[in-house]
Structure 1
């Protein structure tokens, strides 16, 4: 497919971040050089004609976890229209619920120890963990939404748990102190190849690394062991039948010398591209090839339908 052929790629965004953001600006510019027109579209805007696009690239849909049912319905709608998502809609559904961590665990991936509990089961689960320092977060969440941390038995923590929503399920994990002392790693991959990494550190007195809570970010080079652990997690995703990922962010922490997976961000991760222009350019090249392949498959299918 020549660079003069124009394709339209929807950048799926949210109402609060409706435009293409600074971190994605160079990526969008490079796509245009490949004959691809990036168009910002709010994912749950009912007026968007998704059939006008060759594919949908998931970007800043950072409210989807609060509207999880609508999110799954939207993916179903795109599937019915035959509009591919990047990443693939099947892996988006799987990755939208953090219980996927148990799937990784079954594949032999080192994760932060994780238990699942309904809201009604939390009290009994915590009673079996006396005096432990724990974190509770929804299985479908983002940005530390409805996340609480504390020592089991502490009255303030017990009170916080009682105020958690009752209609969602939760992950129960031990708190890993290295998140505070050493920071949380994010390793970025495009087309299965490692690109770059950052360490995210919480503000003094906090444990949340997100910028809205005062967290900071710095570029870093992971060790061979950390790269191997992240690679094993991505291999497990493939083994679970999810195929090649256009992009992936592997979040984890090094505890007692071992890299433990905290999350695999395969839906709408911040990609830290603003300071990595070469990575944005490589990602744009990969997306162009992917759209060419999708276009050739669509053409083949159309021709086959007329035979």
Structure 2
């Protein structure tokens, strides 16, 4: 029988205890349609030694939550998996570079539109003040380049002190007011094919769209411009991708821009998928058959 491993959080990280088992059960139900047996294993058990992953036909890092809080260990793990040539999908090299949001700058150099972004080794009050002056933004977002789920993300107004600034490399962007009015739209692709899209809006008064902050989710049909931008992003990525979630929002001129290309452990929003995960199952099946 085909064997699939799903990488899960560090067992010592209590913050995910009540959430990841539910996600795993949804994924299992989808993956078992391929006839495979699914085993959960913490990603932190395979950092220095890949032998514990021998024998799997496919290794999915799709619940490897918490890597952003242990980034150095994550990078060592990706190097270990790459050297061992494990059947990780997405590829371990993608898992490495996609864990640091500076990849957005590299995609921008290839013509992918992103919000104006200042990259810095350490965010300072002077940089925030200068960004307000240079961009004319009414609000700014400051967050670490290694983050997930709005981790240590700040929304600042002019004159507001930069307290609790992210430690280390950070990014400073104008806050897009469309997040409050239109939200962010995620386009899901499996095996390079579009599957479904989900719009995510924050609750009134907040800017965080994640479910743990009360984000409101609904299935939508993306317009042609959004779909074209998502496909442009995928075309700019050289490595083969089993799955991708492309997160887009409109800038203040009404144009779609890339917010994130989530290629490690994105929520697929299978509960909002009209096909109930059939596209993901088909992509996994094709990968296993290939």
Provide the C-alpha distance between the structure 1 equivalents of 2:26 and 2:163, rounded to a whole number of angstroms. 45
> What SS class does the counterpart of residue 187 from structure 2 fall into?
strand
- Indicate how the Cα distance of structure 1 residues 113 and 130 shifts in structure 2: closer, same or farther if over 3 A, else same: closer
- Indicate how the Cα distance of structure 1 residues 225 and 130 shifts in structure 2: closer, same or farther if over 3 A, else same: closer
Task: Specify the alignment match of 2:2 in structure 1.
Answer: 7
How many angstroms does 1:56 deviate by? 1.1
> What SS class does the counterpart of residue 124 from structure 2 fall into?
helix
Q: Does the 8 A contact of 1:200 with 1:218 survive in 2?
A: yes
Provide the C-alpha distance between the structure 1 equivalents of 2:154 and 2:103, rounded to a whole number of angstroms. 20
What CA deviation, in whole Å up to 9, does each residue of 1:50-85 have, x standing for no partner?
113222101122201000111111122222333121
What CA deviation, in whole Å up to 9, does each residue of 1:136-194 have, x standing for no partner?
0100001111111112322xxx1xx242243x200110000000111111110111111
> What SS class does the counterpart of residue 60 from structure 1 fall into?
coil
Q: Does the 8 A contact of 2:219 with 2:273 survive in 1?
A: no
Is residue 146 from structure 1 mapped to residue 152 from structure 2 by the alignment? yes
TM-score between both structures, scaled by the size of structure 2: 0.88
Task: Specify the alignment match of 1:174 in structure 2.
Answer: 174
> What SS class does the counterpart of residue 44 from structure 1 fall into?
helix
Q: 239, 244, 250: which is aligned to 1:248?
A: 244
Provide the C-alpha distance between the structure 1 equivalents of 2:42 and 2:248, rounded to a whole number of angstroms. 30
Task: Specify the alignment match of 2:265 in structure 1.
Answer: 268
Provide the C-alpha distance between the structure 2 equivalents of 1:259 and 1:182, rounded to a whole number of angstroms. 12
> What SS class does the counterpart of residue 230 from structure 2 fall into?
helix
Task: Specify the alignment match of 1:52 in structure 2.
Answer: 55
Provide the C-alpha distance between the structure 2 equivalents of 1:182 and 1:82, rounded to a whole number of angstroms. 42
Provide the C-alpha distance between the structure 2 equivalents of 1:82 and 1:230, rounded to a whole number of angstroms. 29
Provide the C-alpha distance between the structure 1 equivalents of 2:187 and 2:17, rounded to a whole number of angstroms. 24
Structure 1 runs of 4+ with >6 Å offset: none
Provide the C-alpha distance between the structure 2 equivalents of 1:87 and 1:223, rounded to a whole number of angstroms. 27
Provide the C-alpha distance between the structure 1 equivalents of 2:118 and 2:235, rounded to a whole number of angstroms. 23
Structure 1 unaligned segments of length 5 or more: list them: 1-5, 294-307
How many angstroms does 1:248 deviate by? 0.5
Is residue 212 from structure 1 mapped to residue 215 from structure 2 by the alignment? no
User: Equivalences for 1:185-196 in 2 at 5 Å?
Assistant: 185-196=185-196
- Indicate how the Cα distance of structure 1 residues 139 and 7 shifts in structure 2: closer, same or farther if over 3 A, else same: same
Is residue 258 from structure 1 mapped to residue 255 from structure 2 by the alignment? yes
Kindly report the root-mean-square deviation, in angstroms, between the aligned alpha carbons of the 2 structures. 2.1
Task: Specify the alignment match of 2:113 in structure 1.
Answer: 110
Structure with higher helix content: 1
Provide the C-alpha distance between the structure 2 equivalents of 1:57 and 1:130, rounded to a whole number of angstroms. 41
Task: Specify the alignment match of 1:128 in structure 2.
Answer: 130
Q: Does the 8 A contact of 1:36 with 1:288 survive in 2?
A: no
- Indicate how the Cα distance of structure 1 residues 64 and 39 shifts in structure 2: closer, same or farther if over 3 A, else same: same
> What SS class does the counterpart of residue 288 from structure 1 fall into?
helix
Over alpha carbons, which structure has the higher Rg? 1
> What SS class does the counterpart of residue 208 from structure 1 fall into?
coil
Structure 2 unaligned segments of length 5 or more: list them: none
TM-score between both structures, scaled by the size of structure 1: 0.84
